[in-house]
Amino acid sequence: MLEKNIEKKLVKAVKDKGGLCLKLNSLSMIGIPDRLILMNKGKIGFVELKQKGLKPRPIQIRRIKDLRKLGFKCFVIDDVERIGGVIDEICST
């Protein structure tokens, strides 16, 4: 499945759960995850989307590590089957 199709399903799933799934475009920093997910009660997570079987580039891995060091939840999704679990994990604690 193409990345854009996984992204569309993620956006819909987040919206269906009452959240926002914002597209991130940074002109000042490369490698930022594709989407910022905002859920009820201040729950936040970042998602990097990839086509099935593809891995993040080294700079993307670095940005994910940096965000995790700051305490944010970050995920890589390359399969629509992971979407529900990622949303659940963002919403937990």
Query: What are the residue boundaries of the structural domains of the chain, listed by start?
Result: 3-91
pLDDT in tens, 13-48: 999 999 999 999 999 999 999 999 999 999 999 999
**The model's pTM:** 0.95
Q: What is the second-level CATH architecture of the domain 3-91? A: 3-Layer(aba) Sandwich (3.40)
Percent of the chain with pLDDT over 90: 95
Dihedral of CA atoms 16, 70, 76, 20 in degrees, nearest 10, equals: 20
The values of phi and psi at residue 23, to 5°, are -80, 130
**For range 69-75, the mean pLDDT:** 98
The whole-number pLDDT of residue 1 equals 82
Between 93 and 70, the higher pLDDT residue: 70
